[in-house]
């Protein structure tokens, strides 16, 4: 008696190990005082390192938090109906902030911006605008597990993975693009475009100029769309600097061409400002038809007028944005280095990264078997025995078992230290098990010999 969407909820992707780890954490969440033996959440890409900067601005701007303008209340104005195009003041402030993040190398037209309730809504809306049910998008692996939900569940679109390899630090190559495209062709799938995350979730790396040129060339010759999810653009903490696909179009004199009409950006304040609960996202596109359709669709997931007003005031404060971006970058860099060095001491290395709220961690040497079954076995030990929730590479569709995404910005420094101590103890126990000491070898050898003797030997 219910719709197929209700009866086929498994297609949502909620049964992925990415989400299952969260469920286990919620059953037994770590607390340094009340539950010190609980599971530490390292599977959540959330930035809590710079809340004091945000709080300081709020404390110093009571008119914004009190919904006042020049000392006069505008609460009634904000509470009544607002056009779903969004507040012009907020859209202008947001595109200026986007430019600032990109070093003001490019500018954005607020008329080309569609506001959405977070990047999740933005990505799904773009799929509705570009793809018909059954059409495919090529997505480089490893990719954010939520894309299986965001891009596919309600739209009926398909994902064809572009398999990237650790041999070149998971960089996108022309051969990988061609292989994915040919695979889709063999499956009779119409490829409508490519979707990339830049900087990458889960890799924590930004696309280089070669990759960006490769992508633009690929979609140009095949009359395809390119969606660049740039929600982590404000989390770059070391070189190389972030380069937006819009900057590539500008440098190649493609801004006013048909190619530019097929390039779209997804933006958000969830990662750049650490405000996922505010549900602020957007689509930026030069394609008038996409902007028109997406704006109409945005009526199903609007950002509240109160949120837009508050953020317009905050982002219009250029002194604040400059301070925040600089200090947040410094803190992310320090925290990332703490995680990398801590894991390194435990004998675990990470992919070299320059952005994001996580590291792509290589645990292949800890696998019992070099298979995805071995990866899940290791993941279960880490969740249930070590009591850390991290995301296995298989949940991100990585083609090589043994890689994990580990988040570092959603916890205190003290909690991270506890997590690293747990990892160190776990690796040491694994080492003792796989390479026992001479005394332990003799004991185990003796135990095996006596175990094999007949029972009557011990009847004396």
CATH number at residue 158: 3.40.640.10
Cα 334 to Cα 329: distance, rounded to the nearest angstrom:
9
- Could you tell me if 378 and 313 lie in one domain? no
Domain that residue 239 falls in: 67-320
* Mean pLDDT across the chain: 91
pTM: 0.91
- Could you tell me if 140 and 271 lie in one domain? yes
> Based on the structure, what is the number of domains in the chain?
2
- Three-state DSSP class for residue 8: coil
Query: Nearest to residue 351, comparing CAs of 166, 174, 195?
Result: 166
Cβ within 8 Å of residue 460, ≥6 positions away: none
- Could you tell me if 301 and 336 lie in one domain? no
Give residue-wise pLDDT tens across range 40-67.
Answer: 999 999 999 999 999 999 999 999 999 9
The pLDDT confidence band at residue 446, using thresholds 50, 70 and 90, is very low
Residue 206 DSSP symbol: P
Under 8 Å between Cβ of 206 and 188: no
The pLDDT confidence band at residue 83, using thresholds 50, 70 and 90, is confident
Place of tokens 């945005």: 298
Instruction: Look at residue 412 and tell me whether its pLDDT is greater than 60.
Output: yes
Give residue-wise pLDDT tens across range 227-238.
Answer: 999 999 999 999
- Could you tell me if 313 and 191 lie in one domain? yes
Quick check: is 445 in a domain?
no
């Amino acid at each position: 008696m219910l719709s197929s969407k209700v009866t086929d909820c498994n297609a949502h992707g909620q049964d992925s190990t990415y989400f299952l780890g969260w469920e286990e954490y919620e059953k037994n969440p770590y607390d340094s005082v009340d539950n010190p033996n609980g599971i530490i959440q390292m599977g959540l890409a959330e930035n809590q390192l710079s809340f004091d900067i945000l709080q300081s601005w709020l404390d110093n701007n009571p008119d914004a938090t009190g919904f006042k303008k020049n000392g006069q209340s505008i609460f009634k104005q904000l509470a009544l109906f607002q056009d779903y195009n969004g507040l012009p003041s907020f859209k202008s402030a947001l595109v200026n902030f986007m430019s600032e993040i990109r070093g003001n190398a490019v500018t954005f037209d607020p008329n080309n911006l569609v506001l959405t309730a977070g990047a999740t809504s933005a990505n799904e809306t773009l799929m509705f605008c570009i793809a018909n049910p059954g059409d495919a998008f090529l997505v480089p692996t490893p990719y954010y597990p939520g894309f299986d939900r965001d891009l596919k569940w309600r739209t009926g679109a398909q994902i064809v993975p572009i398999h990237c390899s650790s041999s070149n630090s998971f960089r996108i190559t022309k051969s990988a693009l061609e292989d994915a495209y040919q695979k889709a062709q063999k499956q009779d799938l119409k490829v409508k475009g490519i979707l990339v995350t830049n900087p990458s979730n889960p890799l924590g790396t930004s696309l280089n100029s070669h990759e960006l040129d490769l992508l633009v060339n690929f979609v140009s010759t095949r009359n395809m769309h390119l969606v660049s999810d740039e929600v982590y653009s404000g989390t770059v903490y070391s070189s190389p600097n972030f380069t937006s696909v819009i900057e590539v179009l500008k440098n190649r004199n493609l801004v006013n061409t048909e190619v530019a009409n097929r390039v779209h950006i997804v933006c958000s304040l969830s990662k750049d400002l650490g405000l996922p609960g505010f549900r602020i996202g957007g689509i930026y596109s030069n394609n008038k038809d996409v902007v028109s359709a997406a704006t109409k669709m945005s009526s199903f997931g609007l950002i509240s007028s109160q949120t837009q007003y508050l953020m317009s005031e905050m982002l219009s404060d250029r002194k604040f944005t400059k301070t925040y971006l600089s200090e947040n970058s410094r803190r992310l860099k320090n925290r990332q280095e703490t995680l990398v060095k801590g894991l390194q001491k435990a004998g675990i290395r990470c992919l070299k990264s320059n952005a994001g709220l996580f590291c792509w961690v290589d645990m292949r040497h800890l696998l019992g078997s070099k298979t995805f079954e071995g990866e899940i076995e290791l993941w279960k030990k880490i969740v249930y025995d070590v009591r850390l929730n991290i995301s296995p590479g298989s949940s991100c569709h990585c083609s090589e078992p043994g890689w994990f995404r580990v988040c570092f910005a959603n916890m205190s420094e003290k909690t991270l230290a506890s997590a690293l101590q747990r990892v160190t103890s776990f690796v040491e126990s694994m080492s003792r098990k796989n390479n026992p000491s001479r005394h332990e070898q003799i004991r185990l050898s003796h135990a095996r010999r006596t175990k094999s003797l007949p029972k009557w030997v011990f009847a004396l």
